[in-house]
Amino acid sequence: MDALDIMAGIDRVYPVFQPIFSADEHRVIGYEILGRFKLEDKSVSLGSFFQDEQVPVEFRLEADLAIVNIAFKKALQLEDHILLFINRDAEMLMADTEEKLLKLILSYEKKGISPSRIVLEISERNSMGEAGGLEHILNYYRAYGVKIAIDKLGTDSSNLDQINMLEPDILKVDLDALGNVAIGPAYQDILYSLSLLARKIGANLLFESIETVFQLQFAWKNGGRYYQGYYLKEPSADFVTGEVLKNQLKEECHSFIISEKKKIERLFILTSDLNRKLQELTMKYRKQKDDTQLLPLIGKELDGMAFRMYICDEDGFQDLPNLVENRGSWIFHHEHNRKNWSWRPYFLENIFKMRSEKRGFLSDRYNDIESGETIRTFSYPIGQERYLFIDLSPAFLNAREELF
């Protein structure tokens, strides 16, 4: 629709509400306020209107305030713990020099809607380049109790420094791309890194655009406390009962728990099997004079499971070249000899674990720097200040769903 048509019919804009559900209680904890326009017998989304930078910011501000005001009036009937999520891009927020949105929020405080129930969603892509001024404005809102969310993570390029500087209460991750069958593990790893970021800065994760049970499971597995999307509930002009999906979410989360427990159990079994096998092999070949004789013998015993092995001391220095499997043969590659790997995340921590617990550990899956393929590494103590690292082959991992 043309922006002028919308402004001429400003009395026909109205809000709809999309429920947001919690992982811990399986109930509605809030609603995102979305804009609609009545066009004859149809309802038209105003998403493109608010996202169009060609539309004068004054138009967008006026329409937005009209929608939020109607939404607040309807929200007076809600329980006093239900959150209300308002979308605002940085341009609109900074153009609101008269603080009309804040004044509107504060005007409803005495009517029963505390500012602490308001979540101001800022689209991350729109905050780029204006973080200093934006930080000042958000701190001003925060002083009144308004919560801050960074929106559209997972679709736009992330600027972690600015996200950290804005100190959001919620990180909102868009799972729309996860529905694309062409998306691989790398994209999932990026979203997993966002869950780690949220934990580090003390923010809750809200996953939106959940349209399948697979996406819901991914959100649950990656630390999502809040969920939103058409798979759960579509936007509606009316509110829903707080426990409308309680039984469904409880059952689905229980199935996720069972599946994850089975996966973790299989990982523990594999780790135990590898520990037992390496203990047997080191005992079997304990009379070998040096590691250049020991490694090829262990390699042959691990055919089909491993594709590369090397030994480091407890400071991370590699004691001898990589031993690499090549068409059934194990060959030393000398270019990595005496390199240091202590810079890798958790390397020294795992060394201390192996030294104190006298057993090996299986790493998380990661992409190998050289091949680009997804692998895991099993590390095992083989002697005083000597630690064996075994890179498990992609084929071995691919054949076992719990390892991939």
Shared domain check, 360 and 295:
yes
Shared domain check, 292 and 399:
yes
Shared domain check, 274 and 198:
no
380: domain range? Answer: 260-403
pLDDT at 320: 86
Q: In sequence order, what are the beta bridge partners of 36?
A: 14, 45
pLDDT at 126: 46
Task: Say if 249 falls within a structural domain.
Answer: no
pLDDT at 200: 87
What is the C-alpha to C-alpha distance for residues 12 and 22, in angstroms, rounded to an integer? 32
Shared domain check, 22 and 149:
yes
Q: No. of H helices and E strands in the chain? A: 14, 16
pLDDT at 127: 46
pLDDT at 153: 74
Shared domain check, 274 and 209:
no
Average pLDDT over residues 260-265: 93
304: which residues sit within 8 A by CB, 6+ positions away?
393, 395, 396
What are 71-102's pLDDT values in tens digits? 999 999 999 999 999 999 888 899 999 999 99
Encoded tokens for 375: 């692998």
What is the C-alpha to C-alpha distance for residues 97 and 76, in angstroms, rounded to an integer? 27
Task: Say if 247 falls within a structural domain.
Answer: no
Provide the pLDDT confidence category of residue 380 given band limits of 50, 70 and 90: very high
What is the C-alpha to C-alpha distance for residues 245 and 251, in angstroms, rounded to an integer? 10
pLDDT at 191: 77
Provide the pLDDT confidence category of residue 231 given band limits of 50, 70 and 90: very high
pLDDT at 128: 46
pLDDT at 20: 98
Which CATH number fits the domain that encloses residue 24?
Answer: 3.20.20.450
pLDDT at 185: 64
Shared domain check, 271 and 215:
no
pLDDT at 179: 63
What is the C-alpha to C-alpha distance for residues 40 and 403, in angstroms, rounded to an integer? 55
pLDDT at 275: 97
Task: Say if 245 falls within a structural domain.
Answer: no
Task: Say if 118 falls within a structural domain.
Answer: yes
Shared domain check, 289 and 206:
no
Largest CA distance in the chain: 90
Task: Say if 252 falls within a structural domain.
Answer: no
Is residue 220 within 8 Å of 256, Cβ to Cβ? yes
Is residue 360 within 8 Å of 274, Cβ to Cβ? yes
Shared domain check, 63 and 164:
yes
Average pLDDT over residues 37-47: 91
Provide the pLDDT confidence category of residue 229 given band limits of 50, 70 and 90: very high
Share of the chain above pLDDT 90, in %: 67
Provide the pLDDT confidence category of residue 216 given band limits of 50, 70 and 90: very high
In the block, which residue shows the tokens 């005495």? 110
What is the C-alpha to C-alpha distance for residues 250 and 34, in angstroms, rounded to an integer? 27
DSSP of 157-195: PP-HHHHHHH--SEEEEE-GGGG-TT--HHHHHHHHHHH
Q: Quick check: 313 pLDDT over 80?
A: yes
Task: Say if 117 falls within a structural domain.
Answer: yes
What is the C-alpha to C-alpha distance for residues 233 and 216, in angstroms, rounded to an integer? 13
Q: If residue 246 lies in a helix (H) or strand (E), which one and from where to where?
A: helix 246-284
Shared domain check, 213 and 318:
no
Shared domain check, 337 and 198:
no
Q: What is the mean pLDDT of the chain?
A: 89
Distances (CA, A) of 120 to 31, 147, 169, 292: 12, 6, 10, 61
Shared domain check, 221 and 98:
yes
Which CATH number fits the domain that encloses residue 349?
Answer: 3.30.450.20
Angle CA(391)–CA(394)–CA(400) in degrees, nearest 5?
A: 105
Share of the chain above pLDDT 70, in %: 92
Number of domains observed in the structure of the chain:
2
37: which residues sit within 8 A by CB, 6+ positions away?
1, 6, 9, 12, 13, 14, 43, 44, 45, 46, 49
Shared domain check, 321 and 267:
yes
Q: In sequence order, what are the beta bridge partners of 389?
A: 310, 379
Q: How many residues does the chain have?
A: 404
What is the CA 113 to chain-centroid distance, rounded?
A: 31
Task: Say if 174 falls within a structural domain.
Answer: yes
pLDDT at 400: 80
What is the C-alpha to C-alpha distance for residues 258 and 260, in angstroms, rounded to an integer? 6
What are 154-200's pLDDT values in tens digits? 655 456 667 877 889 999 998 886 665 555 666 777 777 888 888 88
**Cα dihedral sign for 388, 391, 396, 398?**
positive
What are 114-136's pLDDT values in tens digits? 999 999 999 755 444 455 688 89
List, in sequence order, the alpha helices (H) in 19-159: 47-51, 57-75, 90-95, 100-107, 124-127, 131-143
Average pLDDT over residues 253-265: 94
Task: Say if 18 falls within a structural domain.
Answer: yes
Instruction: Label the pairing between strands 204-208 and 83-87.
Output: unpaired
Provide the pLDDT confidence category of residue 70 given band limits of 50, 70 and 90: very high
What is the C-alpha to C-alpha distance for residues 46 and 1, in angstroms, rounded to an integer? 9
Closest CA to 192 of 170, 219, 217, 222: 222
